[in-house]
Amino acid sequence: MNDYLAGLTTEAVNPETFIIDECTTEQMVQLMNQQDALVPAAVAKEIPYIAKAVDILHHRLSNDGRMFYIGAGTSGRLGVLDASECPPTFGTDPILVQGYIAGGDIALRKAVEGCEDDAEEGIALIESIGITEKDAVIGISASGSANFVIAALTRAKELGAATIGVCNNKDSKFEPIVDVCISPVVGAEVISGSTRLKAGTAQKLVLNMLTTCTMVKLGKTYNNLMVDLKASNIKLVDRSVRIIMSATDVDSSTATEALEKASMNCKLAIMMIKTGLDAFEAEKALNENEGRLKQAITSLA
């Protein structure tokens, strides 16, 4: 038996759900809901470390760096999910935030057991994606012990990248090898060892904070409006119009007309309405302010 694994909180048996197999359906659901309610408080305790990680990510991405999630199993899938949602939400280049999972893309749909133990593959991944001293690598593992992730983080650090660990146990193997370790301890799972449950939920909350707060600091929002979204379908065009209306207090027809004149660029449309500039001059002003809409508007006041 592995003493390290045996001592992990995420591997413990939960006394609160011990006889879940004897419960009614409603009792089972209530038990899970009660356990899930513990997750936000566990994440809240990690806020100082999450904030430190966001500042690191903002600094790296502001200086031509990239952000990489590396994980295995559920943790890897969550990283890939978070990375894949950045382009449509914040209008980022897909290269800026990337997610990788042990076993490759096939592991997103089908469990590929054993890959998380392959340290050589973790190293090979870091070298194949060209990690440099400008980048930041975030390793995700509920146990904090996946060799694939540990090896990837170690190699990334050797190459000068910033390293961040996200796990669900204190005193994990991540802590000695990363610049910041975020460890929301959610306790024993509803089903013993099934870290896709509370641990996965906690990881999702943390990753939401990492990318969202970093993107806000990069000027990807105006107030709390996602003005850099890509209006690539009917729903997103409608959302863009509503965002423009909210930001500028114009009616829907004016917002739609501005969006069309801005080549379906929501941020540019707002800039045009707010300043009275045409598309060319408004885009120039945005570029001069690194795409920061509020700053660009203020600079012309």
Per-residue pLDDT of the chain in tens (301 residues, 90 and over written 9): 576 776 788 989 999 999 999 999 999 999 999 999 999 999 999 999 999 999 999 999 999 999 999 999 999 999 999 999 999 999 999 999 999 999 999 999 988 878 899 999 999 999 999 999 999 999 999 999 999 999 999 999 999 999 999 999 999 999 999 999 999 999 999 999 999 999 999 999 999 999 999 999 999 999 999 999 878 899 999 999 999 999 999 999 999 999 999 999 999 999 999 999 999 999 999 999 999 999 999 999 7
Q: So where are the chain's domains?
A: 6-217, 234-299
Torsion of CA 227, 162, 187, 197, to 10 degrees: 50
Catalytic residue among 11, 26, 46, 116: 116
Task: Choose among 199, 222, 235, 237: nearest CA to 291.
Answer: 222
Q: What is the CATH number of domain 234-299?
A: 1.10.8.1080
Task: Choose among 162, 101, 168, 178: nearest CA to 141.
Answer: 168
Same topology for domains 6-217 and 234-299, yes or no? no
Is 257 annotated as catalytic? Answer: no
Strand 162-166 relative to strand 97-101: parallel, antiparallel, unpaired?
A: unpaired
Q: pTM to 2 decimals?
A: 0.94
Is 85 annotated as catalytic? Answer: yes
* Strand residue runs (E) in the chain: 67-71, 97-101, 136-140, 162-166, 180-182
Place of tokens 């340290």: 119
Q: Which CATH number fits domain 6-217: 1.10.8.50, 3.40.50.10490, 3.90.1150.10, 2.80.10.50?
A: 3.40.50.10490
